[in-house]
Chains A and B, each alone.
Chain A
């Protein structure tokens, strides 16, 4: 019999919701545990083999301390394929929403004052691709069962997960929703990678972009449109930043210029 691929599931800063969502795939868990030799699963196991070399590492969470950074680099060395698992790992998620504004130290001081840190030295939240080579990703906050299991299946077969490069709007229209943008709401569907099956607009709540920015995202056009609809620049940018992580930082300057 062919050897099963080894799998490690690690977690850094986040809510652990990605790991939890995987655990929540109750009907498929047996299949997962039979298809892979799971060496590490922080959220699910107590006897984790931290030293193990793994074929696939799913890494959840952003990097918020120097210690995490060291650990991440170790995982990179031990893993053949390293996968950014969920929005925190992919983009930095909400803890990175102010990324690059130059005021991190100031904010940190406001919260923690002069506290001394001994175990780990905190740093501004960053997605993992800022530090190590990332081979594949699974989007979502948390990832959807269907998309996640498909991706993991592809990984276990030795393939890179493929996604249809379409925005949330595709599935939103599949579910025959009226477009909230046309109703004057600040919906980020067109800027956001699909795969979530558009639960938010389906419940009449605008998409806030938790799947991360899609490659084709036209932020400038959406900014102009939202401004026409009466939204203030700060409000729009804040929403763009919420799950925009490190990607939006690269666009901010241009966006502020356009907004003038």
Chain B
């Protein structure tokens, strides 16, 4: 793996390099939060110092909220022709890169999801490390440090960034930007790097003790607190929309008015909605809200381990700041631990 340096005084030239590879997308403010948005002017590309938690995670690039996946006529059907742009996504935090690795596994194991793959191939991930805020707990989910899943990864060390190259595409970028990416990385940089890692490690304050929760999920499956949460839950579905590892969608066919044609639409669904578990004959596996919450937390904290070897919560803290009634990984774990 290659490591290079980007001096802060050259930071303003980064956009010109990246734009040669595709559209540049990065966090921009929206209200009191941020969203990944297309950057049209180089001065709008900001490498924020603080941890940036966009309202929606980067899954929106790979499995869009709504997507037309098929056009059909009585005689034939075809995949709609869409031009998927290459997008360079700048400022992706480590926990989200872990989420991306989870999505990759999910969408490529057993069945390859082509709609995901054709978008996945068109994103370039420029990761960035930053000091945690009071909601981030990726240190507890082993997702605070990344080793794979990015094309480039930036660590801010004061006057300069250390830049890790994680893929061939990343290598292409630093080669094309050879006037700003310097190969001159002296050994004493290691000192700064270690000091930064240590500072960052100590800066995590959110203390969610996840040890043993997998077993506790099993043991506490019938505990009363699930019903209390069920009574509080608004079934708004926000938790699943904002969670970087939620993948569920619904598919429906729609016919055009007075035309012999239609299309098939796929859009984000939520296991918090009643119809999600509705099957033929009006049977519903998870009639009550409590049952639906159990399903979600079983999936986040337990079931995924069986399939893929790690829990599917990456500690991003979105559910903590999004759920209006404070049902989230933190409050659930609190209850599990009694």
Contacts and interface: CB of A to CB of B under 8 A. Distances in A.
B237 A165 contact: no
B35 A176 contact: yes
B33 interface: yes
Tell me which of B54, B66, B235, B321 has the highest count of chain A C-beta atoms within 10 A of its own C-beta. Answer: B235
B257 A170 contact: no
A156 interface: yes
Tell me which of B232, B273, B324 has the highest count of chain A C-beta atoms within 10 A of its own C-beta. Answer: B324
Nearest to A174: B65
A176 B257 contact: no
B31 interface: yes
Interface stretch (A52-60, A80-88, A105-113, A212-220): A212-220
Contacts of B231: 218, 220-221
Contact of B324 (A156, A182, A204): A182
B242 interface: yes
Interface stretch (B101-109, B147-155, B248-256): B248-256
B35 A166 contact: no
Interface in A74-95: none
B32 interface: yes
B235 A174 contact: no
B234 interface: yes
A220 to B, nearest CB: 7
B325 interface: yes
B25 to A, nearest CB: 13
B268 A218 contact: no
A123 B76 CA distance: 55
Nearest to A181: B324
> What size tier do the contact residues of chain B reach?
35 or more
A165 B273 CA distance: 7
A176 B59 CA distance: 12
Nearest to A159: B255
Interface string B305-338: 0000000000000000110110000000000000
A183 B31 CA distance: 10
Interface in A168-194: 169-170, 173-174, 176-179, 181-183, 189-191
A134 interface: no
Contacts of A167: 235-237
Given A35-B257, A153-B256, A174-B268, A222 B234 contact: yes
Contact of A218 (B252, B258, B270, B289): B289
A162 B251 CA distance: 13
Interface of A: 28, 31-32, 34-35, 149-150, 152-154, 156-157, 162, 164-167, 169-170, 173-174, 176-179, 181-183, 189-191, 204, 215-216, 218, 220-222, 224-225
29 contacts: A31-B258, A35-B257, A157-B255, A162-B252, A164-B273, A164-B275, A165-B274, A166-B269, A166-B273, A166-B275, A169-B236, A169-B238, A170-B241, A170-B268, A170-B270, A173-B238, A174-B267, A177-B55, A178-B31, A178-B33, A179-B322, A179-B324, A181-B324, A182-B324, A190-B236, A215-B274, A218-B233, A218-B235, A220-B231
